[in-house]
Amino acid sequence: MSRAPKATRAEVEARTNDVFKLILAGEDHARITAYAAEKWQLSARQSRTYISRATVRLAEHGQVNRQTEFSRAMARLNDLYAKTVKLQDYRTALSIQKEINSLMQLSAPPPPAAPVVLATPQDVLDIVAQELNAVLAGGSTVEHTRQIEALAALALKSIELTNLSERLATLETFVENIRQEKKSDVYH
């Protein structure tokens, strides 16, 4: 039995692109394997190779350079701002400026809140819930949330230790009372 000729680089690239498109279209491995067998007479192992190559390509497409995307967004917003001012569309220009301010986090900081007292686990849960809602509403950064998370974990641990020390003190008092009662029973 003779082997099929090895695919050229161009054929490999074209097949990988086809498989990439099938993955984007939501096709599963079984359907892609059947497609490759029918169209290119490939074995299941050969199909897996193309699926792997296409999956790597998919992962590369998903990688985002945050600084590049930030710069692109700022350039677009600045361009739109200049065009709207030139057209004397000041309402839209103001909206764009607000978006720029938001993107650059230039909004005025909120007034300082009253000091937070964390005396119970529920207090900690309330703070965590507030922070979660702020993140979901877009009013908080991920870094701020991580700091809140770390502080909440410390607060909960402190509350647990405080509760344990109070319970231990109660138990020690109880044990001491029992000892005192036994001593007084012995002398009576």
Q: 3-class SS at 4? A: coil
- Asked if 32 and 19 touch (Cβ cutoff 8 Å), the reply is yes
Tens of pLDDT, residue by residue over 48-69, are 999 999 988 888 877 777 788 8
* Better-predicted residue by pLDDT, 20 or 156: 20
Tens of pLDDT, residue by residue over 117-175, are 777 777 777 777 777 677 666 666 667 777 777 777 777 777 777 778 788 888 899 88
106 phi and psi angles, rounded to 5 deg: -95, 0
Structural domain count, the chain: 3
pLDDT tier, 3 (very low <50, low <70, confident <90, very high otherwise):
low
Are both 146 and 88 inside the same structural domain?
no
Give the global pTM.
0.40
Are both 144 and 165 inside the same structural domain?
yes
Are both 34 and 56 inside the same structural domain?
yes
Are both 180 and 134 inside the same structural domain?
yes
* Better-predicted residue by pLDDT, 10 or 137: 10
The neighbour count for residue 92, using CB atoms within 10 Å, is 14
CA dihedral 82, 88, 89, 91 (to 10 degrees): 100
Domain span at 138: 114-188
